[in-house]
Structure formats: structure tokens, C-alpha cells
A and B are shown apart, each in its own frame.
Chain A
Amino acid sequence: MKTQRWFTPWLLLGPALVWLLVFNLWPAINTVVLAFTNAKPLGGGSFTGVANFERMLNDDQLVYALVNSIVYMLICLPLLLFLPLLLAVLLEKKLPGITFFRTAFYTPVIASAVVVALIWTWLLEDRGLVNGLAQQLGFLTEPLPFLSGRWLLLFSAISLTVWKGLGYYMIIYLSALGNVSRQLHEAAAVDGAGPIRRFWSVTVPGVRTTMLLVSVLVTVSALRVFTELFVLTNGTGGPGGRTMSLVMLIQMYSRGFTGHLGYASALSLVLFVITIGPMLLLLRLNRKAA
């Protein structure tokens, strides 16, 4: 009955197998290998033992980057945990025109981070819309320099990440809200619970698992941030390169005559170490969902 020849599956699997080996497994192994060399962007490189890791111990920029990552994560987490959920609750009732709103709220997600960061640059500059409106409305007496200074730059980038992420997590919540029991909502309403009370006692517990998923996704993406910071600082990493992320450091060492692929690979291993926990959790959550 089996008309299948032994090599048929492998023919079909061929392209994926090549990509798995050449562009997934090999780079993973080679990252570890490269981390112990002084490879340069233009080629060459020899084994240098743990030199790259010793260098890390005295690298102030790495410390700044790690601190930035933690701050990034800590601010993004609560905001992206709750704001998208509120949006999803707004979209949940099928009012006329709701599809339009859903699509519109999702637009920032599909735009390139470069496009969005350039829009932010224009909005946040000294004479931009945000400073203009804030002064007009009396919140500020003089423009706030959002795009200079280590922390203001970081906060501006965070606001961008949060804004761009709203729609993404909103959609994840929206599918989870379908499983929150209507009876529970109605029972709570009959008992006289207002919308805010019902949000905390019915909606939030109802999407608990999804909140765990979202917090893991937010954590990982905060640790991987690159484009927002790169474009907002015009590639400089802010004053003294102190508004860099880990990925920005990796990118910085990837090119030019001052580049150092060995050190960049060692930094990649740091990124691996700080992301592996959440990534494994993510894989678990996914398999449970599947």
C-alpha cells in the first residue's frame, strides 16, 4: 500500500533541512566558537581563549546596556501588560465599525520600526508636536529635550516600543477574551459590580494565562530592542554611547575597521544567557496551548 520511496520525505524536507543546518544550527554552534576568537568584520581571526570575556568585565558600555535593558523591561512590562488589555476590552463588543478600529489600532505593528522611530524623532524634537502642544497647554514652559540625555532618550524609546506593541498584544488578548465567561460578567453586574470592579475581578483573572504569555513576550522583546534606540540616537547610542542596548553593542562591533566579531559573539552569548529563561518558558506555554 505504501507507494512512498524511502527518499521521498527527504526530497520534500531538503530545503528546510539545508536551512536548519546552515542557517540555524551552524550559526548557533559558530557563535560559541567565534566568542573565543578575535575574528574581524573583514575576515581572519585566531583563537584567543577567554580574552573576550575578560574584556567584558571592564566594559562600561556593557554595564550601561544591561542596566538600560532592565529599565526597559521594567517599564514596558506593566504598560504592555495592561494597556493592550484595555484596548482589547474596548474592541470586544461588536459595535458598528469595530473592524475599522481594530485594523487601525494594529497599524503601528506592521509599520517598520525605522519608519516609526523617524516619526517619533519628528514628534519629540525640541520644536516638534509634543513639545509644542505641551507648551501650548501649559504643561511645559520650555521644550523638554526628549532626544538628548541618557534617560530621556531611553524613555522616549520605551514610549515608542510601548506604542508600537499595543496592537500586537491587543490581538493576543482579544482572542483570550472570547474564553472569559459571560455568565460571570453578568452575575457580577447583577451583584452591582461596576465596570472597573468587573475588569479586575472577572476579566483579569480570566486572562491570567495570556498575561503570563504576554509578560514573557514583552520581556524577550525588551531585551532584544535595537531599532528604536539606533534610530532615535541616529546610530550613536546617545551621549557617550550610554543609551545603547545589548543588541546595539553587538551591531556596533559587527562592522568597520574597529569591528570585532569575536567580541560581538561573546556579547551574543550574554544575550543568549539573559533570554534563554523566558524563551524556554515561551516554548512551554506554546506547547501547552497547541
Chain B
Amino acid sequence: MTQLSTPPAGAPAKTPASSPKRRRRGSGFGTMRRREKLLRYVLLLFALVVTVGPFVWQLSTSLKGAGENIYTATPQFIPSNPTFDNYLRVAETIPVLSYAKNSLIVAAMAVVGNAVGATLAGFALAKLHFRGRTLFLALVLGTLVLPGEVTIISQYVTVRSLGLADTLVGVALPTAVAMLNVLLMRAAFMAIPDEMDEAAVIDGASAWQRLIHVGLPNVRGMLSVITIFAFIGAWDDFLWPLIVLTDPQNYTLTVGLQYLSGAFTANPRVIAAGTMIAFIPIVIVFATLQRFFFRGVEEGAIKG
């Protein structure tokens, strides 16, 4: 995991091509290096256009005024008269601020639930001995082979019978303590050497004190990872809120966006503005926390 999370981006730039460290990495042909480097950058830029271009095009469309032709044969990436009118139109068509607030509430519940639930359980499973631990782990692993979509209907029946259909709590509840996160936190606690813990046990520390003073300081990395993932997962989710929520007042941002596009197929500028409203916050979260992010993707990537 360290390979990815520690990319010394600037460092190799300063070392000349002749440094021994560089030579080991390269193919070993001095004359090839320049051309290879150039080719690599050309390909990287091409991949950049493919992966990020569509977002830029959408942003550009969202800033084009009603007077600007968005269908021109030669695509215009820079709006001639940038305007936020389309964003106002979104707010006039759907209660976009309240949808954003709903998404935020759901995401906050997911973050708190997973942070607390997975930490407590992960600690108990990793550091305490008790009967039933193996059974619990076996059941958790057993549930992981079920894709969420398989149980989504009966999940809805459960939420409905709790009286939570068409509520934000109903949206957040089923994944508020995700079993995968319990396993990830367990792995993080298990990585703490037993000697550290034993000293605390000998000093007469209770399980609770061990969790606070020995455990938590050592699992902060994984804890940030699962909270970031919980946030993004909840913010981006579409199928589950689509099933649970019926009243348009209660929609989250993703469901509201789909609703907007149904009501407004004629104006790509407004839909573009709507998508940017959902996209930009998550990009900011991602850009700020990306260091933790890539570490997490590596540790938890295999979730299926």
C-alpha cells in the first residue's frame, strides 16, 4: 500500500536522468529515454482528455447562456458569455438546496454510524476473546457474498415495517453499519502488536480504556478511509433512495437529478448545471482527502 500513497511527485524531476535511482527504473537506454518520456506524456494527455474531458464539457455547457448555441459543429469549450443563470434555473425547477441537504443528512448518518459501529465491533473482534466470535465472523463473511441488489427488496420490506419508508433515516439505516467496514476495522486493530496492548492489560486497563488509549490512535488511517468511503457511497447512491423515497420533497440529490432530467429534457444547459451541483462537492471532498483515498482503495478495493 505504501507504493501508491507515497508518490514523490516532485523529487524525481530534479534528479538528472543519469542518477543511479533513475537508471534502475528506466529501460536502460539513454537515447530512448527522451522519446519514451515524450511518448508517455502524449499518452497521459490523451488519457486525460478521455477521462476528464466529459466533465469539462458538462461544466462548460452549464455556464453557457441561453443566447449561445450549444450545438455548434465546432465544439466551443470556453463559454463566450459565462453565466450562472442555468444554476438558478435548476433551483427554480427542483428544490435543489433541500435535495443537497437531504443527501448531506444521509451521508452524515452513514459516516457516524460506520465510524462508531465498525470501530467498536472491529476492536472487539480483533482484541477481545469471547465465545461466539468465530460464529460472528463466519456470518459476516457469509453476508459479503450477497450483492446488495439481491436483498434490496426485502430490505425495503424491513424498512417499511419499521415505519421508515419514504424517510431519510430509512435511506441511511441499512448501510449505517456496513459489514465490510467491520472487517476492515478488525484488520486495522489486528495490525497493532499485542505487546502494546498487553502492557495496558497488565496496568489494569479496561477494554474501554484500551480501545481509547491504545486502539484508536493506531487505526486513524483506516478510520478515515471507511468514513470517506461511507460519505461518497451515500452521496452517490441512486438505486436504494429511488426505491425508498416516493415524495419528491424527500429526494436526495441523485434521485432529484434524474427527476430534473425527466422534467427538463429540452434544456441540456440546466441539466448540466444540475449535474455539476451534485458533482462538484464530491470532487472537493475527493481532492482534499485523496491521499487517504488511494490507500483505502488498495486496502478495501476488493469489496466487489
Interface segment among B79-87, B198-206, B217-225: the answer is B198-206
Q: How far is the CB of A195 from chain B (nearest CB, A)?
A: 8
Tell me whether B151 and A27 are in contact (CB under 8 A).
yes
The main secondary structure of chain A at its interface with chain B is: helix
Which residue on A lies nearest to B118, using beta carbons?
Answer: A16
* A224→B303 CA distance, assembly (Å): 14
Interface residues on B, range: 35 or more
| Chain B CB within 8 A of A108 CB | yes
Which residue on A lies nearest to B242, using beta carbons?
Answer: A251
| Chain A CB within 8 A of B243 CB | yes
Which residue on A lies nearest to B290, using beta carbons?
Answer: A103
| Chain B CB within 8 A of A20 CB | yes
Tell me whether B117 and A19 are in contact (CB under 8 A).
yes
Q: Which of A95-141 contact B (CB under 8 A)?
A: 95-108, 110-116, 118-123, 125, 127, 129, 132-133, 135-136
* A276→B144 CA distance, assembly (Å): 11
Q: How far is the CB of A180 from chain B (nearest CB, A)?
A: 12
* A132→B275 CA distance, assembly (Å): 22
* A173→B261 CA distance, assembly (Å): 36
Chain B residue contacts of A216, Cβ below 8 A: 304
| Chain B CB within 8 A of A275 CB | yes
Chain A residue contacts of B265, Cβ below 8 A: 234
| Chain A CB within 8 A of B292 CB | no
A110 in contact with B130 given A15-B117, A118-B275, A251-B242 (CB within 8 Å): no
Tell me whether A9 and B130 are in contact (CB under 8 A).
yes
* A285→B206 CA distance, assembly (Å): 37
Tell me whether A112 and B153 are in contact (CB under 8 A).
no
Tell me whether B304 and A282 are in contact (CB under 8 A).
yes
Q: Which of B153-206 contact A (CB under 8 A)?
A: 153-158, 160, 173-177, 179, 182, 187, 201-202, 204-206
* A16→B180 CA distance, assembly (Å): 11
Chain A residue contacts of B136, Cβ below 8 A: 13, 17, 20
A27 in contact with B28 given A4-B207, A16-B182, A102-B7 (CB within 8 Å): no
Which of A28, A106, A114, A251 meets B278, CB within 8 Å? A114
Chain A residue contacts of B24, Cβ below 8 A: 182
| Chain A CB within 8 A of B47 CB | yes
Which residue on A lies nearest to B204, using beta carbons?
Answer: A3
Q: How far is the CB of A235 from chain B (nearest CB, A)?
A: 7
A250 in contact with B152 given A107-B55, A123-B54 (CB within 8 Å): yes
Taking beta carbons and an 8 Å cutoff, which residues of A are in contact with B? Answer: 1-4, 6, 8-10, 12-20, 22-28, 30-31, 33-34, 39, 43, 87, 90-91, 93-108, 110-116, 118-123, 125, 127, 129, 132-133, 135-136, 163, 166-168, 171-172, 174-175, 178, 182, 185-186, 189-190, 213, 216-217, 220-221, 223-224, 226-227, 230-231, 234-235, 247, 250-251, 254-255, 261, 264-265, 268-269, 271-272, 275-276, 279-280, 282-283, 285-286, 289-290
Taking beta carbons and an 8 Å cutoff, which residues of B are in contact with A? Answer: 1, 3-4, 7-10, 12-13, 24-29, 37, 40-41, 43-44, 47-48, 50-52, 54-55, 57-58, 61, 71-75, 113, 116-118, 120-121, 123-125, 128, 130, 133, 136, 139-141, 143-147, 149-158, 160, 173-177, 179, 182, 187, 201-202, 204-208, 211, 232, 235-239, 242-243, 246, 254, 257-258, 261-262, 265, 268, 271-272, 274-275, 278-279, 282-283, 286-287, 290, 293-294, 297-298, 301-302, 304
